[in-house]
Amino acid sequence: MLSSFLNCFKIPELKKKILFTLAIVAAYRIGCFIPTPGVNGAMLQEFFDKMSAGGEGSIFGIMNLFSGGALANMTVFSLGIMPYISASIIMQLLTAAIPALEKLAKEGQTGYQKINQYTRYGTLVLASVQSFFIALWLENPASFQGIQIVSDP
């Protein structure tokens, strides 16, 4: 088994893809430790503790789970893979509902690539929208039961 794993690195194209994937995963994990500027981490943790103690925090717990724990710390990559998952689901539903997308899906590899491209565009749109609303949510101290999370909203 170890020899077949080592053989992967003898193929230049496969080696390049493996190293690229490892670099992206490492960059993501590093970004999950960089806090968002202006957010008081201690107050944010206090807010999450209050929400989970009151039984209302299940949605925050699920979102935090999908982001790999980055949401509770409000890090740079706190959205995690949620925008991509949402965009993929939306594109699958739209493919069944819109005849032009359904036709594109039946075209084979080129149609599949085009749908993947639309999914990536949708991911960028959803990530921007979700980021905007998280920023608004952090700036609104009224919803935090008196806890001010952003130092200067």
DSSP string, 8-73: HTTSHHHHHHHHHHHHHHHHHHHHTTSBPTTB-HHHHHHHHHHHHHTT-THHHHHHHHHTTTHHHH
One digit per residue, the tens of pLDDT, for the chain of length 153 reads 778 778 888 888 998 999 999 999 999 889 888 888 888 878 777 777 777 665 555 677 777 777 777 777 888 888 888 899 999 999 999 999 999 999 999 998 999 999 999 999 999 999 999 989 888 877 775 565 666 677 765
- In whole angstroms, give the CA distance from residue 29 to residue 63: 17
pTM for the model stands at 0.73
